[in-house]
Chain A
């Protein structure tokens, strides 16, 4: 199985800050990488697919980049509703696997 490792595990930031979360795959996944946002008690919501393609309806302050083994999710200017846990997921080979999550907290 492909292991997905996110860093940091948690980050504290303020409204208006720029935040970057990193995801590393144990082997290359090309651009088959998605990012999800999960709020407490809710299902995950897809933000980015294909490493950099914004899901319809997702604000443009979210962006993704990378290919191969190293990927980033950037939130350009944090809004109050962005405080949540973020997960990456590879869709290159089965079984699909997720990162362990990055919890974004209010400073």
Chain B
């Protein structure tokens, strides 16, 4: 079955850029109605939607992060990535990659597969 796994640094300095990659195994990132997403979770803000990328390259970003965020997709490697710049302590969180699965006929729009999460600490 489809599995996701996040990778990247666990510690990043303030003002620097966070780069995380999610590797998808057991499935394709080129499927219709599957959107490759990032979500983070911090004690202070709970679960926060970051954004997604579709196989066509179209993206959707949370406006609260949009000015600092880039999500990209490499279908040949079955990987998608997140870059978040100008980091502050408020960006400290567990970062999850997830598959958003959509079917209008089934009233389905949910994050149905998640990676285990990557703890990222922003500190000097």
Which A residues lie at the B interface, using CB under 8 A?
Answer: 31-32, 34, 36, 42-46, 49-51, 53, 55, 87, 89, 91, 94-101
Q: Cβ of B108: which chain A residues have Cβ within 8 Å of it?
A: 49-50, 53
B116 at the interface (CB under 8 A from A): yes
Whether B114 contacts A53 by the Cβ 8 Å rule is: no
Q: A94-B60, A95-B63, A98-B49 are known contacts. Are A44 and B114 too (CB-CB below 8 A)?
A: yes
CA A99 – CA B66 in complex, angstroms? 22
Asked if A91 contacts B109 (CB within 8 A), the reply is yes
Q: Tell me, yes or no, whether B26 is within 8 Å of chain A by CB.
A: no
B114: A residues at CB distance < 8 A: 43-45
Taking the closest CB of chain B, its distance from the CB of A102, in whole angstroms, is 12
When A94-B60, A97-B49 are in contact, do A43 and B110 touch as well, CB less than 8 Å?
Answer: no
- Beyond A94-B49, A101-B47, 5 additional contacts (C-beta under 8 Å) are A43-B114, A43-B115, A45-B114, A46-B110, A96-B49
B62 and A95 within 8 A (CB): yes
Q: How far is the CB of A101 from chain B (nearest CB, A)?
A: 6
Known: A50-B106, A53-B106. A44 touches B63 (CB 8 A): no
A87 to B46, CA, bound (A): 10
A101 to B110, CA, bound (A): 17
Flag if B96 contacts A43 (CB, 8 Å). Answer: yes
- Residue B124, interface by CB 8 Å: no
A100 to B46, CA, bound (A): 6
Main DSSP-derived SS at the B contact region: strand
Q: Distance (Å) between the CB of A66 and the closest chain B CB? A: 13
Distance A98 CA – B117 CA, assembled complex (angstroms): 17
With a cutoff of 8 Å between Cβ atoms, the chain B residues found around residue A50 in the complex are: 106-109
Contacts of B107 in A (CB 8 A): 31-32, 49-51, 53
- Give chain B interface residues in 65-124, CB to chain A under 8 Å: 96, 98, 106-112, 114-117
Most chain B Cβ neighbours within 10 Å, of A36, A42, A46, A55: A46
- Residues on the B chain within 8 Å of A97, using CB: 49
Contact B110 A95 (CB under 8 A): no
A36→B52 CA distance, assembly (Å): 19
B64 within 8 A of A: yes
